A = this chain, B = another copy of it.
Amino acid sequence: MNKQTNEQSLKDTRERILDAAEHLFMQYGYDGTSMRVVTNEAGVNLAAANYHFGSKESLMQAVLRRRLEVINQERLRLLDEAEANAGGKPLKPSVIIDCYFGTLLRIAADQKAGGETFLRLLGRTFTEPSDFIRAFMSTEYADVLERYKQALFRSLPDVPKAEIVWRFHFMLGATSYAIAGTDALHLVTDWQFDEGSAEQDKNLLPRLMSFLIGGLRAPLPQFENEAGPTADKSANKDAAA
């Protein structure tokens, strides 16, 4: 065969392994997935995985990196664009939240095949116990998280930075659960609403965005050890300008 066919089949083996690993890591977790089931589902030889990726850990990193690079680069690009359009003024919190969380859901919706699968894998990856996974995620997210953190600081100058970080943390959690699958949702409800999976996906983003912005802009908490009485919650100052 010619060169094209060769490179095609090479890419096919690598990508078939990545696709199978993505799906199985999502469904059974990293520790719960063996190299044998990955290569079986990919239809390749067991040794091919170690030949192309070196180890199971490296395979997991490759699975995550393949899509995270696209998502995080788009996140940085959109934030740059929004800040350029704002002309030096702080961005609205809702714009920042949409650049971060909206980009994630929109890109995942684009990639028809593995998009939803990767979303659910990503949701679970944040709570993966393996040290090397958390270390990988930490470095992979360091830049984009720092940029968005600073953008939120500028956007909410009257809110203590510690509160912003905590609420960013809460938003990450709510989003991860939202996308980590409807399994946890079935746990909450019988879920006999008439909408199908398609409409669920379509409406997830506006639903999530409303919740996230509502939480981000909620009145600041009253700590017990702070000065002043434990006032009525409705008397609290709104978090967002």
Binding site for B on A (CB under 8 A): 27-29, 31-32, 94, 123-124, 126-130, 134, 137-138, 141, 145, 149, 161-163, 165-178, 180, 183-189, 191, 193, 195, 202-203, 206-225, 233, 236, 239
Q: Is the CB of B177 within 8 A of A126?
A: yes
Closest to A126 in B: B184
Q: Is the CB of A170 within 8 A of B174?
A: yes
CA distance A167 to B214 in the complex (A): 11
What B residues does A123 contact at CB under 8 A? 127
What B residues does A173 contact at CB under 8 A? 173-178, 180, 184
CA distance A173 to B172 in the complex (A): 9
Q: Out of B137, B178, B191, B202, which one reaches A170, CB within 8 Å?
A: B178
Q: Is the CB of A187 within 8 A of B218?
A: no
CA distance A239 to B215 in the complex (A): 13
Q: Is the CB of B223 within 8 A of A214?
A: no
Q: Is the CB of B188 within 8 A of A172?
A: yes
What B residues does A193 contact at CB under 8 A? 161-162
Q: Is the CB of A211 within 8 A of B207?
A: no
CA distance A185 to B163 in the complex (A): 12
CA distance A183 to B214 in the complex (A): 25
Q: Is the CB of A187 within 8 A of B221?
A: no
Q: Is the CB of A184 within 8 A of B169?
A: yes
CA distance A203 to B29 in the complex (A): 33
CB distance from A203 to the nearest CB of B (A): 5
8 smallest beta-carbon distances between A and B, as pairs? A214-B218, A173-B177, A31-B31, A206-B221, A215-B215, A29-B129, A170-B174, A211-B215
Q: Is the CB of B210 within 8 A of A223?
A: no
Task: Report if A207-B187 is in contact (Cβ < 8 Å); known contacts: A123-B127, A170-B178.
Answer: no
What B residues does A233 contact at CB under 8 A? 94, 213
Closest to A167 in B: B211
A-B contact pairs, 22 of them (CB 8 A): A28-B130, A29-B29, A29-B129, A32-B129, A124-B127, A124-B129, A126-B177, A126-B187, A127-B177, A138-B187, A145-B188, A165-B189, A169-B177, A173-B174, A174-B174, A177-B177, A203-B221, A211-B216, A214-B216, A214-B218, A214-B219, A215-B218
